[in-house]
Chain A
Amino acid sequence: MRYEFDWGLLWREPYFGWIVEGVLTTFHLALLAWVLALCLGIVIGVLRVTNSRVLRAIGTTYVEIFRNIPLIVQLFLWLYVVPQMLPREFSFWWNRLDNVPYWTAMIGISFYTSARLAEQIRSALRAIPPGQFKAGLSTGLTQVQVYRYVIVPYALRIIIPALTSEFLTVFKNTALALTIGVIEITATTRRIEAWSFRGIEAYTVASLTYIATTILVILFMSWLERRYQIPGLIKRGEARA
């Protein structure tokens, strides 16, 4: 291969500035989408196991809509279709916002992820002995309090490994935001390539960003897993002490 590498390019302006901005955009887009997805996912996951038929139907409908349409299609729907279906005043306000594509991507990714999370949370909730719920109620906690303080914290501890891979998925899914005009790290590398014809260097930056971040996240999550491991429940790779 006759290709002269020029890694120094990445440290020169304007490319360096672009990269920093792209990485930061990817980070906060992923984090915001994740936080929103987790909140929504917990609520929807709980709705899916309640006694109320209506609430369960709402939960099921939500999950089936948001996990069965490809994410990229959802992003286009949020950008082009949804604003037209909302009241005029709202779409005026929405379209005048700075960074409409950014907020659209955030909403699109978090709704899609929340449907997937809701399913994980539902399966964890079902794994919790029903006696826990009765015990909570018997001490005079309300249903909402039992979920809030007993059932959900217990469930989240069970599914930390699953949450890790969901977060990694969200993080990588942010790359799709480039299709609706968000300049995150993948879009940035395309731009660098277009300006400098240095595709290998540019895409290396994107790949390294993703890999380095995901590894950090995995390390953090396995620390979290140890920190919040429930004492006395069977630990990975070892029998009960």
Chain B
Amino acid sequence: MNQPIIRVENVGLRFDSFVALDDVSLSVNAGQCIVICGPSGSGKSTLLRCINGLERFQKGDVWVDGVSVRGCQDLPKLRRGVGMVFQHFELYPHMTVLENITLAPIKAKGLSRKQAEDLAFHYLDRVGIVDQAQKHPGRLSGGQQQRAAIARALALEPKAMLFDEPTSALDPEMIAEVLYVMRDLARGGMTMLVVTHEMGFAREVADEVVFMDRGRIVEHAPVDEFFSTPRAERTREFLNKILLKL
């Protein structure tokens, strides 16, 4: 097997006395899609933020494409290699969609405006909202905003993508359009780590599923195994709850 794109090794993080991550290890290989689920407060989002150095952890280390996050001298460069998509989109409301996407390629990567715009249009087309390029995010529907945010992350041509509950702030119709884009990305071979409660998406797209609770990885299994024969009691309990909801 080739070297994993993301390797998390024994990461531990605490906020004062609260243990947010407790000895978490995980690797994501090139082209893999791993879904992380678990109750709120279980450390899923914190784990994602550790991977691109947005959160400092006290124990262990994370390697992104062979570069250690803890010892990283050039975090901006490392972060460019890992796209991130947020629950609340976090598009910059005072810029048009096009400006949102071209900002980092121009300022952080040093592309010319022309190159950056070509890239932006390419990825806007890929997520299906090329016609929204000149609008401000406030004029877009939630689903369109999230797709624009995905395009913003893709425009840096990252080696991997992190999704932090990308559909939790959307209503059902819009969830479908965002999941469609994500499915398309995964099929295209993008390496993805997705925090979500969309079990349908997990079942269909993910290679492996991770279940976290109270800062630990309770279960980590290939997708079929995870749904058919979950080993941990806590996983079964959680799956029953959220599958019942559907």
| A residues with CB within 8 A of B | 129, 131-132, 134-142, 145, 149-150, 153-154, 157, 228, 230-233
Contact = CB atoms under 8 A, between A and B. Distances in A.
A138 B94 contact: no
Contact of B103 (A129, A142, A149, A231): A149
B14 interface: no
Interface stretch (B5-13, B19-27, B75-83): B75-83
From A137, A153, A154, name the one whose CB has the most chain B CB atoms within 10 angstroms.
A137
Contacts of B80: 139-140
The binding surface of chain B is classed by DSSP as: mixed
B180 interface: no
B88 interface: yes
Given A230-B94, A231-B139, A233-B93, A139 B153 contact: yes
Contacts of A157: 94
B86 interface: yes
B94 A153 contact: yes
Contacts of A129: 88, 90
Contacts of A149: 103, 107
A81 to B, nearest CB: 43
A131 B138 contact: no
A31 B87 CA distance: 43
B136 A230 contact: yes
Nearest to A143: B76
Nearest to B79: A140
A232 B153 contact: no
B52 interface: yes
Q: Which DSSP category, helix, strand, loop or mixed, fits chain A's interface?
A: helix
Contacts of A132: 90, 92
Given A231-B136, A232-B138, A140 B90 contact: no
Which 4 pairs show the lowest CB-CB distances between chains A and B? A232-B138, A140-B80, A139-B104, A135-B90
Given A138-B83, A228-B94, A230-B138, 13 more contacts: A129-B88, A132-B92, A134-B86, A135-B86, A138-B79, A139-B84, A140-B76, A140-B109, A149-B103, A150-B103, A231-B138, A231-B139, A232-B138
A131 B45 CA distance: 13
Nearest to A234: B138
Given A139-B79, A139-B80, A145 B107 contact: yes
Given A154-B93, A157-B94, A141 B84 contact: no
B88 A131 contact: yes
Contacts of A142: 76, 108
A161 B104 CA distance: 30
Contact of A154 (B49, B82, B88, B92): B92
A232 B107 contact: no
Interface in B91-107: 91-94, 103-104, 107
B119 interface: no
Contacts of B62: none
A141 B139 contact: no
B108 A134 contact: no
